Amino acid sequence: MSDTGAWVADTNNRGRSTAARAAAWRFVLQRASAAVLAVCVVIHLATMIYAARHGLSSEAVVARMHVTPAWPAFYALFVVAAAIHAPLGIRTVVDEWLGLRGRVVDAALGFFALLLLGGGLYAVRALAG
């Protein structure tokens, strides 16, 4: 250990602050986006099952979603929550099962998040017509 004096003096664990905060915030974001997704997924599944059971074609579903701006807004929220949740989940899997971690992995996952955000909002815009 290069700076034993500082380490011994750090009885308040201040040296761990950055890592601790980062881990805590990742947890908060993951769980908060999960809660949002829980609501969105219930609505999405209900919509899809309703459409299937009523024999609605995809055009009919889309036509109904054009009627109000609430649907595009709902799906935009859905996309944002998914763009936060999925990369954070994959981050853990890649760490534990592939043994990959660090800045490059985090950058790749950031790119994945942007991909989801971009692709998803593009679809929402197409939905909104």
Chain contacts with other proteins (rule: CB under 8 A): 1, 7, 10-14, 16-17, 19-21, 23-28, 31, 34-35, 37-38, 41-42, 45, 48-49, 52-53, 57-59, 62, 79, 82, 86-87, 89-90, 92-93, 95-97, 101, 115-116, 119-120, 122-123, 125-127
Would you state the structure tokens that stand for residue 17, as one six-digit string? 């602050």
CB of 2 to other proteins, least distance (A): 10
CB of 62 to other proteins, least distance (A): 7
CB of 69 to other proteins, least distance (A): 16
Distance (Å, whole) CA 67 – CA 127:
11
Question: What type of residue sits at position 8?
Answer: V
**Residue 107: C-alpha distances to residues 24, 48, 63, 110, 111 (Å):** 19, 34, 39, 5, 6
Q: Considering the complex, state which of residue 5 and residue 11 has its C-beta at the smaller distance from other proteins.
A: 11
Would you state the structure tokens that stand for residue 26, as one six-digit string? 């990742």
Say if CB 59 and CB 89 are below 8 A apart: no
